Structure 1
Amino acid sequence: MPVFPEATPLERRRFWLLLLIAFIVIGAGMGLRDPWPSDEPRFALAAKQMVESGDWLFPHRGSELYSDKPPMLFWLEAASYTVLRSWRIAFLLPSLLAALGSLLLVYDLGRRLWNRQVGLYAASALLITFQFVYQTKRAQIDPLVMFYITAANWGLLVHMLKGPNWRAFWFGCFCAGLGVITKGVGVLALLLFLPYLVAVFGQWHGVSRMGDGAWWRWSLGLVALLFAMALWLVPMLLGAKAHAGDPAYAAYVNDILFHQTAGRYGKSWDHHHPVFYYVPIVLFTWLPLSLTYPGTLPRWWQALKTKDARILLPLGWIVLLLVFFSIPKGKRDVYIMPALPMLALITAPYLGELLQKRWLRIAGLAFIVIMGAAMLGVGAAALVAHPKFASEFATARGFEDGGRSLWWMALSIGVIMLALIVILRVRHAVAAVACSMAAMWLIWSLWAYPILNDSSSAAGLMQEVREHLPPGDQLGMVAWKEQNLLMLDRPATDFGFTKPWHDQYAAAVKWQAEDPSHRWLFALDGVMADCVDRSKAISLGHANRREWWMFRADAVVQGCLPGEDVDRVPAATLEE
């Protein structure tokens, strides 16, 4: 085992300060908002139904099985709630822990492969990157996938570059398996074998060679991978077999094992983009880290020319990951987020030198000036000139004051950013960029979350529903969204989620007619068509960019059923 020099008091202080800053920046706002569309309410609802039903094996979305994603995130959210008893904290806690875990892993890799200073640079570079903070402040699956893939990379890199360390290797393979049962792509960490083989056969410096008799130890990595996957797959398959009489469970198995994995990759049905879609992602959403590219690219090239395996393996893996996700038509920016920790790692060895370069400091200040000026301009224009975009935003969100609080927030962020530039200037450009990014995230979290929560989460809308629903009456939901059922916070009857809206409406009206004096329907405006007398219905207003109503049986036009055209709504209406 390698022996590391003991950390100096200064190094320890910097390490703990970095973790504290990460905790504050990423954790800010927890408890101030509910899950926001599009994915957060869906995952939180699945977790909530696990807790309430006791069925932690098969996620549900209302009355339907939910087979789009494996249940790893839902388990962690449900477990967090079981401990904390607060959904407002529990639904965000897995992302916060995944972020802190990723930072620790990158720090440790930098420490092992270079030194503690490089480890601090690596973790700091990751923390300052826009996409990393933006995504880890949300309750989506991608931060968790990033953590498991980074953990897998950690185990493989420690073994391949500082080994042999078979425990680290088996741990990495196990984490790759956990990544598979989180989103299916955890196995991509094993792409590290390709640049590793190049390094071994090319006699690169710093690569570990395991000997000819180690084949059986390598094979145990596959065992660790499959064991992690079996933790979910075996109980799930046995559970589906126990429900052999219900075709919904057979459809669940087929969808989650085949349609949502190989089917989604080979024949993508959404998020279609051209092959070079990720080029602007790595340039702009990875700011300000991407500002270092002009300095790191020639240094990476020089390291490759000198056969430095510490650069080859992570860099080669990043390239392979980008190529893999560029092949299918379906692309999203979060797909390549697992590459960010490795990018921060191979940037870190050169940051001490690069941060002294005047061109990089000026580039960092220019980035903040552009952001600050944009924030200041948008906020001032919305407050003074009331342009169309501001009015439309306020209307969509249901803000009676025109959203003035948010425009003041934007203006404040802009003023703070520009003030930091003026005060700190080029000499302290690093501090100006870091403080500006931190200020932006803190102000957004503490100021915007409470303002946007009611309209974004449907909390205000469902409060209206509860106020209009007499005690003891029942509610049926038509053309509903996950945030509606989640924020209702009481039992309701749904008529399917993926079922066509006109079929939902027909089933709902029939259900309501069985007890017309005590049953209400909650419905999207568009699905009601001319089959509901709106003068007898209750308008709930605008939320999540939609109009919502609730009504009793006396508002239903007898014998009228909406046509199939109600299911074909404009794309803008469906987007969150």
Structure 2
Amino acid sequence: MLNQQNGYQPLSVKALVLLGLAAFLLFLPGRAVTPPFDRDEPRYMEATAQMLESHNFVDVRFQDKPRYLQPAGIYWLEAAAVSLTGSQNQRAVWSYRIPSLLAMSGSVVLTALIGSMLFGPQAGLGAGLLFMASVLVAAESRMATIDSCLLFTVLLAQLALTGALQDRMRGVSTPVKRAVLYWGAIGCGLMLKGPVILIPSFATPLMLGMLERDFGLWRRMRPAWGWLLSAAILVPWCIAIGVVSHGEFFRNAVGTNFLGKVASGQQAHGLPPGYHLLVFLLAFWPGSFFAACVAPMVWHARKQERVRYLLCWIVPHWLVFEAIATKLPHYVLPTYPAIAILTAAFLAQGGDVWRNWPSRIWGRALLAVYGVAWVLVGIALAVAGPTLVWVLEHQISVGAIVLAVGVLPLVGLSAWYMTRAYLQRAVLSALAAAMLLYVGLFTVVVPQLQSIWLAPRLTALVQAHQPCAESRVISVSFSEPSLVFLLGGKVLLTGAENAASEMKAHATCTVALVDKRDTPAFMAALGDKAKDAVSLGAVSGLNYSNGRHLLINLYKLRTASQ
């Protein structure tokens, strides 16, 4: 079992800096060459770009529609990154992704720091590496969305709570600076995604207080006045947006977006309870098998103060998001650092403890099945690169094959160590496999998948054939926000009939993007002008957002002067 001493020396500043640098370098590849991921990422990008163009930093909009889903914090961060890099006029995707890169790198450091404060330097370092190498973290760190930045604020609040827990274990008072950090982090989290941050930040000390029948940890956070700090961060913008939107922001953000996700599955994401537990195998890979290994030991040690604290961090948040109707993998991301810490803490014990673990036959059978599933996921990830290039592009990618050849032996070595209960060696091999996989995937494979990147190719087609300096672009068949962002927001998304009417009214400078399925309706709507419609070029590919294969032509009407 875990050592019962009251505290540990945290990782040194040098170790934390090196870990943060390693995370930064792991998350860096592919950021500039990967186009915007539909659908959420380009919505944030376009809204940020419009914020910079309009200099309106209160009323967030996507084209001419208000984007009343969450506060403006993430748009401010992305706007700052774009402005500081001087890339405002370039629509460069990498600059919008800077906040996520920095926030996730910082989250790795905070995970390691909290882990080392609770269980020692070895456990802290292991937790940081397990968290850094997970599939979901590798994906979220590369997208210009809220979740990486929100996670960073969650971890800042948990760092304050962990420090207060250590103070309680040592029998000393908690300095005010911890409460300031806690409520300041909550205020920043509220500015990013509204009340979501309250779930882990409030549930952890309150659940711990209920279990212990002592709310001392909560009182150490000075709730009597601390909430005023969070309010000071959030309320000014709330007043401003309330005035500008005449209250519409709160009706939509709270009533439709937040509460709507609780009652029903939004955007076809309604799934039953158990979804997050099932997806965990892939989302936390390669750490998922090792988390399963330690789960029974964590349960046996649940009454230990530090273990109980982490369980109070994980369980309430996980149960809330298993219960709500709308489910996406990143909803439980704030629990992953705590899971990584517990996993690393028990793995750090080493020795022969794993040779007869689990002790019951049925437990060993379940763990063996999960291990087989883990290996299959690793193999699938390793061969995904060359397979996708072959299936989507009909090409043999030597680079992707070399990548798979490098990853597969490491997965196999990890599996071999697992069968012999050398879990520390197994996790090191698995971490090496994951890191090699991500670097290769985003530098070798993703740039070759041209058929799924329709928006950049359609943008290039429009720019090569636009009839006027300020051409009017209409998209009938491809309405993904990535196209809106890459075309500078100047594209009309509408149906075939409206597109035809616009082309007839503004024939000289108007072009339309129309898929072959929509072409008959488009030509019928053009009427006698259909004979003047000419194709300036075509782009074919897969819209991965809905699975439709498209062949999109760029149409223009011939005019009398042509």
Task: Confirm or deny a common fold (TM above 0.5).
Answer: yes
Task: Look up the equivalent residue of 1:456 and give its one-letter code.
Answer: W
Quick one: distance in 2 between partners of 1:167 and 1:199?
Answer: 26
The question of whether the paired residues in 2 share the 8 Å contact of 1:540 and 1:550 is answered with yes
Task: Look up the equivalent residue of 1:404 and give its one-letter code.
Answer: I
The question of whether the paired residues in 2 share the 8 Å contact of 1:196 and 1:313 is answered with yes
Partner of 2:138: 133
Q: Does 1:58 align with 2:59?
A: yes
Partner of 1:309: 305
Alignment of 1:151-170 (within 5 A): 151-163=156-168, 164-170=174-180
* CA deviation string 1:466-487 (max 9, x = no partner): 1111243521324432111211
1:73 Cα deviation after fit: 2.0
Q: Does 1:418 align with 2:408?
A: yes
Quick one: distance in 1 between partners of 2:551 and 2:225?
Answer: 56
Q: 1:266 to 1:404 in 2, by over 3 A?
A: same
Quick one: distance in 2 between partners of 1:85 and 1:540?
Answer: 33
Partner of 2:287: 289
The question of whether the paired residues in 2 share the 8 Å contact of 1:292 and 1:354 is answered with no
Partner of 2:513: 522
Task: Look up the equivalent residue of 1:416 and give its one-letter code.
Answer: G
Unaligned ranges ≥5, structure 2: 1-5, 169-173, 358-366, 524-529, 544-549
Quick one: distance in 1 between partners of 2:240 and 2:510?
Answer: 39
Q: 1:518 to 1:295 in 2, by over 3 A?
A: closer
Partner of 2:197: 186
> Which of these residues, 545, 552, 556, is aligned with residue 548 of structure 1?
552
The SS at the match of 2:552 is strand
Unaligned ranges ≥5, structure 1: 242-249, 383-388, 556-576
Task: Look up the equivalent residue of 1:488 and give its one-letter code.
Answer: L
The SS at the match of 2:77 is helix
Partner of 2:19: 18
* CA deviation string 1:67-115 (max 9, x = no partner): 2343322221121110113423212211111111212222222233333
Task: Look up the equivalent residue of 1:323 and give its one-letter code.
Answer: L
1:223 Cα deviation after fit: 1.6
Q: Does 1:73 align with 2:74?
A: yes
Q: 1:379 to 1:62 in 2, by over 3 A?
A: closer
Quick one: distance in 2 between partners of 1:413 and 1:369?
Answer: 17
* CA deviation string 1:290-311 (max 9, x = no partner): 222454223323333xx32211
Q: Does 1:348 align with 2:344?
A: yes
Task: Look up the equivalent residue of 2:311 and give its one-letter code.
Answer: L
The question of whether the paired residues in 1 share the 8 Å contact of 2:538 and 2:551 is answered with yes
Q: 1:349 to 1:45 in 2, by over 3 A?
A: same
Quick one: distance in 2 between partners of 1:541 and 1:256?
Answer: 37
Q: Does 1:28 align with 2:32?
A: no
Q: 1:376 to 1:327 in 2, by over 3 A?
A: closer
Moved more, 18-27 or 413-422: 413-422
Q: 1:37 to 1:6 in 2, by over 3 A?
A: closer
Partner of 1:565: none
Q: 1:511 to 1:551 in 2, by over 3 A?
A: same
Quick one: distance in 1 between partners of 2:374 and 2:289?
Answer: 12
Moved more, 63-72 or 509-518: 509-518
Quick one: distance in 1 between partners of 2:134 and 2:15?
Answer: 19
The question of whether the paired residues in 2 share the 8 Å contact of 1:463 and 1:488 is answered with no
The question of whether the paired residues in 2 share the 8 Å contact of 1:99 and 1:143 is answered with yes
1:240 Cα deviation after fit: 2.6
> Which of these residues, 100, 103, 112, is aligned with residue 98 of structure 1?
103
The question of whether the paired residues in 2 share the 8 Å contact of 1:454 and 1:461 is answered with no
> Which of these residues, 262, 267, 279, is aligned with residue 264 of structure 2?
267
Partner of 1:438: 435
Q: Does 1:404 align with 2:379?
A: no
Quick one: distance in 1 between partners of 2:66 and 2:449?
Answer: 30
Task: Look up the equivalent residue of 1:318 and give its one-letter code.
Answer: I
Q: 1:527 to 1:154 in 2, by over 3 A?
A: farther
Task: Look up the equivalent residue of 2:556 and give its one-letter code.
Answer: R
The SS at the match of 2:115 is helix
The question of whether the paired residues in 1 share the 8 Å contact of 2:153 and 2:185 is answered with yes
Task: Look up the equivalent residue of 1:413 and give its one-letter code.
Answer: L
The SS at the match of 2:273 is coil
Task: Look up the equivalent residue of 2:482 and give its one-letter code.
Answer: Q
Partner of 1:572: none
Quick one: distance in 1 between partners of 2:385 and 2:316?
Answer: 42
The question of whether the paired residues in 1 share the 8 Å contact of 2:273 and 2:322 is answered with yes
1:275 Cα deviation after fit: 1.6
Task: Look up the equivalent residue of 1:126 and give its one-letter code.
Answer: F
Alignment of 1:103-252 (within 5 A): 103-163=108-168, 164-184=174-194, 185-188=196-199, 189-201=201-213, 208=217, 217-241=222-246, 251-252=248-249
Quick one: distance in 2 between partners of 1:327 and 1:222?
Answer: 28
Q: 1:200 to 1:138 in 2, by over 3 A?
A: same
Quick one: distance in 2 between partners of 1:191 and 1:121?
Answer: 26
The question of whether the paired residues in 2 share the 8 Å contact of 1:365 and 1:432 is answered with no
* CA deviation string 1:353-382 (max 9, x = no partner): 24876669x9899778545644676677x5
Partner of 1:41: 42
The SS at the match of 1:221 is helix
The question of whether the paired residues in 1 share the 8 Å contact of 2:461 and 2:537 is answered with no
Quick one: distance in 1 between partners of 2:239 and 2:122?
Answer: 44
Task: Look up the equivalent residue of 2:113 and give its one-letter code.
Answer: D
Q: 1:370 to 1:518 in 2, by over 3 A?
A: closer
Moved more, 279-288 or 49-58: 279-288
The question of whether the paired residues in 2 share the 8 Å contact of 1:508 and 1:521 is answered with yes
Quick one: distance in 1 between partners of 2:206 and 2:10?
Answer: 34
1:438 Cα deviation after fit: 0.7
Q: 1:422 to 1:528 in 2, by over 3 A?
A: closer
Quick one: distance in 1 between partners of 2:381 and 2:10?
Answer: 45
The SS at the match of 1:330 is coil
The SS at the match of 1:301 is helix
Task: Look up the equivalent residue of 1:197 and give its one-letter code.
Answer: G
The SS at the match of 1:537 is strand
* CA deviation string 1:132-173 (max 9, x = no partner): 222222222222222222222222332244252333133223
Q: 1:316 to 1:471 in 2, by over 3 A?
A: same
Alignment of 1:505-516 (within 5 A): 505-516=496-507
Quick one: distance in 2 between partners of 1:193 and 1:92?
Answer: 33
Say what the alpha-carbon RMSD is for the aligned residues: 3.4
Moved more, 424-433 or 283-292: 424-433
Q: 1:550 to 1:26 in 2, by over 3 A?
A: same
The SS at the match of 2:137 is helix
Quick one: distance in 2 between partners of 1:68 and 1:173?
Answer: 23
Moved more, 538-547 or 84-93: 538-547
Q: 1:4 to 1:288 in 2, by over 3 A?
A: closer
Q: Percent identity?
A: 19
Partner of 1:567: none
* CA deviation string 1:185-224 (max 9, x = no partner): 1111211132231354269xxx7585xxx89x32212222
Task: Look up the equivalent residue of 2:434 and give its one-letter code.
Answer: M
Q: 1:34 to 1:453 in 2, by over 3 A?
A: farther
Task: Look up the equivalent residue of 2:44 and give its one-letter code.
Answer: F
1:516 Cα deviation after fit: 2.1
Quick one: distance in 1 between partners of 2:409 and 2:218?
Answer: 54
Quick one: distance in 2 between partners of 1:165 and 1:182?
Answer: 27
The question of whether the paired residues in 1 share the 8 Å contact of 2:157 and 2:181 is answered with yes
Quick one: distance in 1 between partners of 2:218 and 2:480?
Answer: 54
